[in-house]
Amino acid sequence: MNSKKFTEHLFSKLIFLIILSLSLSPLYAQPGKNADGTSKYTIREDADGDGVKNRKDKCPETPKGVLVDAYGCPLDTDKDGVVDYLDKCPTVPGSAALNGCQDRDKDGVADNEDGCPDVPGLARFKGCPDSDGDGIEDSKDKCPNIKGLDMFQGCPDTDGDGVEDTKDKCPNTPTGVKVDENGCSADSDK
């Protein structure tokens, strides 16, 4: 075999080996690649894994799984300054103090947890009022405009005889006198 034919023969073998190695390369790990073919350097390109490259990411420490905008920052759909993944009311503008929720009646109880969102009330009654301040919320108070007692569902017993005023036929019984169910002394005329 002359040297020209030998060179051509070697050249064709070399081409064959190159083509073979290229066709088999996906089957073998490549330097700088994970077994699945992704770059081992991806973490350097997108450290928080939000899909926005580090050089463009204005919020480089976004928690995993949080939806982000084109700059890599968590979404704030209602533009209230509380990002969606922390916002209990992500579609309604609210305050940071109430986890992104509104408080229409300004009683300090977020509307989504307020049993009476249009009337100022107390946190202990889930935002519902106690107009007379007797410790019984208005919806459960039989006498919501007069300070009363728990035992009478918010109605008073002015003379303290154990009979609520609305049922007391003798409303001025002296202290210590035993009374009947009408609030009158057994010795008095009914």
Closest CA to 69 of 87, 82, 51: 51
pLDDT at 190 over 50: no
pLDDT higher at 172 or 20: 172
User: Strand, helix or coil at 130?
Assistant: coil
pTM: 0.57
pLDDT tens, 137-189?
Answer: 999 999 999 999 999 999 999 999 999 999 999 999 898 899 999 999 876 55
Percent residues over pLDDT 70 in the chain:
84
Q: What span, in angstroms and rounded, lies between the C-alpha atoms of 47 and 27? A: 28
pLDDT band per the 50, 70, 90 thresholds, residue 108:
very high
- In three state form, how does the secondary structure of 63-102 look? CCCCCECCCCCECCCCCCCCCCCCCCCCCCCCEHHHCCEC
Contact 96, 81 (CB under 8 A): yes
3-class SS of residue 116 = coil
Q: Check if the beta carbon of residue 110 is closer than 8 Å to that of residue 94.
A: yes
Residue 12 has pLDDT above 50, yes or no: yes
- Determine the Cα–Cα distance for residues 131 and 147; give it in Å rounded to an integer: 9
Higher pLDDT, 133 or 41: 133
Q: What is the pLDDT of residue 53?
A: 93
Which pLDDT tens digit goes with each residue over 110-122?
A: 999 999 999 999 9
pLDDT at 25: 55
Q: How many CA atoms lie within 13 A of 189 on its CB side?
A: 0
Decide if pLDDT at 37 tops 70: no
**Residue, of 37 and 159, whose pLDDT is higher:** 159
For residue 32, what pLDDT band results from cuts at 50, 70 and 90? low
**pLDDT band, very low/low/confident/very high, at 109 (cuts 50, 70, 90):** very high
